[in-house]
Amino acid sequence: MTVGFFADRLAVDPSRASRIVAEAVKSGFVRRVASQEDGRRSCLDEAERG
C-alpha cells in the first residue's frame, strides 16, 4: 500500500494522507518499506507490535 492508495481510499488529498501516515508511523502502527518495483517509492506495511 502506498500513501497515494491510502489517500484514494480515504478520499483525502495526498498531503493530508501523508500527514496521517506520518503519525501512524510515529505511533508504530505502520512502517515504511522500499518498493520492490520502484526504489524511489515507499510502501506501507503493518508494523509488528509486541
pLDDT in tens, 2-49: 899 999 999 999 999 999 999 999 999 999 998 888 878 888 898 887
C-alpha cell at 5: 492508495
pLDDT of residue 17: 94
50 pLDDT higher than 70: no
Give the integer Cα–Cα distance in Å for 25 and 19: 10
Which pTM value belongs to this model?
Answer: 0.78
> Over the range 16-37, which residues count as b (16 or more CB within 10 Å of their CB) and which as e?
ebeeebeeeeeeeebeeeeeee
Say if residues 25 and 43 touch (Cβ distance below 8 Å): no
